[in-house]
Structure 1
């Protein structure tokens, strides 16, 4: 099967279109590069040639990127990578793009875009390659499925103060397609659930907005991790973009440590960094889960967790947008069980839940 793919760049900046085109010519698998200054021009071109991947800006004339994204997903689902400005405002809108079907994001600054894109060329190509291999038909569009999700107010935190070691820490690692996969899992968990630590490959600023969005629709509390945060039952923390996250245990409680340092497996935060800290600090009192994403980040760390006595899970190929990360973990022998996405939430409650509670 051929790995060659075509790309459509939709951005109202000629400089951005040119720079992205130049970067993509370095990937021998790119068969054709199409460009359009706005979604209307893009739709006209796509009547003749439909691309395998679309790189999409958000703010454009005539039709905004979100409206275009929703139109594409409704008519002919296609892998779409958002290329958005690295701002809090841009991050908020980008979260809507993820919930509407975007598979990944490439951040760009408002100034010196050309230099930034050139410096980020290797990462840019890797993200677009992952999108080209993604199985967009597996994507769950949550807004369409649950337009009237019932929100249960977050309750008091007394239940979080138990020092009884009956909860296991759940460590989750994911990348391309992970935003939707995490939403599927976390929205299925009850208010009193095992403590959860998550690494989702995503740029800084965007992780804060992602956590904020999940917190607004989940019964568990979801927040971007901060240095020293406790992770009690009923809380999920997401590693901030551009920071590694490790977990330490003190007594029967779990705490966050954030670190700088070089990227690991080309990522910061890295799933391997999280998993290795959990294997060393927590061992058998943990559950490790590796999900959709390209590459091998997390596979070796999950194996270390398994050797330390943790229960380890991989998302199956059928439900993964990109099967790279789970596949690598399975091939290493790092997983005890392989499950479809729809069964992972119940597995979390079964393997990491409070022994005295019924789920």
Structure 2
């Protein structure tokens, strides 16, 4: 297999050199060029087009967002955003994801060299590999992270598997969604298509700390339903979607007939925090057959085992089909485990959520 050809565009010479070193530590990646701003980058792209672009947002002469929009309009190419951990950076990054960027890698204002070399090195390599596999046709149509542990933990690290204990009676329906690469666009397509009244929704989207709040705010401005970054003990109610905060796990809990979420610290699960498996396991345990589980576009296998636990607990489960995924990784792994009752294209998922709520409401 040929190496993934990467172009790094950042106005910091230190960042360009460190990103190059980190990426080329993987034998499957080569950084064929770097550029201090988009103008220089376009000159180098005339000579050789990259497979993936690692792009800063704030740069002289032309900002990263303008450059991204130009690329997506002329020749859609996978782009990984390398953004600062600031409120301004978060808002600009949300615009970049909406414009077609595949994922985010964060960088602090201070200590950036050490951070990229140590804390974010695995994230950076993984993001580039996922971007190289992205279905750009689907993408254009539709944090500070801790280091990856040597041991890949599962949801047992946060809560035990669901047992056979009987749940109290309730007809309240819960929808649990898990997604990763390409998920920001996929979630926008689903949530904006929902009516004002629908089942309560809990969501894990793999995203760095500080960015989930900006993402939720953006969706809230577009949707009929309420969308917010989850806070501890937030109620899960019809017409509301709660998005797990970056850097923390989110679990569904129940008190009587009422659902709420618990936001907890804890180790990375499947190399993620928040983890889809952790959310799905809690939904299997506390909602059982009253839940609808949905696993959508993303690289890796986070959520596959949790979705199987949901199905085993009586929940109906959906997987986004391959043709509509940006990266058919997480749904594919769920299919392999027999966790998916039905695969659907992205544009049909909102209708299924609405139908489930209508059916329950009509009992």
Aligned: 1:205 with 2:210: yes
- Aligned equivalents of 2:275 and 2:351: distance in 1? 26
After superposition, give the CA deviation of every residue in 1:46-103 in whole Å (9 maximum; x if it has no partner). 0010000001000000000000000000000000110000111110111111111111
TM-score by length of 2: 0.90
Check whether the contact 2:209–2:246 (CA below 8 A) recurs between aligned residues.
Answer: yes
TM-score, L = length of structure 1: 0.91
**Is the counterpart of residue 170 in structure 1 residue 169 in structure 2?**
no
Q: Secondary structure at the match of 2:47?
A: coil
Matched, 1:346 2:348: no
Secondary structure of 2:236's match?
coil
Gaps of 5+ in 1: 143-163
Distance 2:27 2:330 in 1: 23
Does 2:123 correspond to 1:123? yes
In the other structure, the counterpart of 1:279 is 284
Whether the 8 Å contact between 2:72 and 2:140 is mirrored in structure 1 is no
Residue matched to 1:304: 309
2:103 maps to 104
CA contact 1:303–1:335 (8 Å) conserved in 2: yes
Deviation at 1:252, TM superposition (A): 2.1
**What SS is found at the alignment partner of 1:326?**
helix
- 2:40 aligned residue: 41
Give the conservation status (yes or no) of the 8 Å contact 1:99–1:141. no
Query: 1:171: Cα distance to partner?
Result: 0.4
Contact 2:23 2:30 in 1 (8 A): no
SS in 2 for 1:23: helix
After TM superposition, give the deviation of residue 27 of structure 1 in Å. Answer: 1.2
Unaligned 5+ runs, structure 2: 143-168
Does the 8 Å CA contact 1:211/1:222 hold for their aligned counterparts?
Answer: yes
User: Number of matched residues?
Assistant: 336
1:1-359 superposed matches below 5 A: 2=1, 4-119=3-118, 120-140=120-140, 165-353=170-358, 355-356=360-361
- What is the CA-CA distance between 1:251 and the residue it aligns to? 2.1
1:250-308 CA-to-partner distances (Å, cap 9, x unmatched) read: 22221010111100000000000000001111110101100000000000000000000
Equivalent position SS for 2:246: coil
Contact 2:23–2:31 (CA<8 Å) still a contact in 1?
A: no
Residues 179-218 of structure 1, C-alpha deviation per residue, up to 9 Å, x if partnerless? 0000000000000011000000000110000000000010
Report if the CA contact (8 A) 2:8-2:31 is conserved: no
Counterpart CA distance in 1 for 2:196 and 2:26 is 46
Distance 1:172 1:44, change over 3 A: same
Q: What's the secondary structure of 1:330's corresponding residue?
A: helix
Q: Is the 8 A contact 2:9 2:56 kept in 1?
A: yes
| 1:118-144 per-position Cα deviation (integer Å, ceiling 9, x unaligned) | 1121121111110011111111456xx
Distance 1:3 1:197 in 2: 40
Distance 1:51 1:137 in 2: 17
Matched residues in 1 for 2:76 and 2:20: separation?
23
* Alignment correspondent of 2:157: none
Shift of 1:357: 5.5
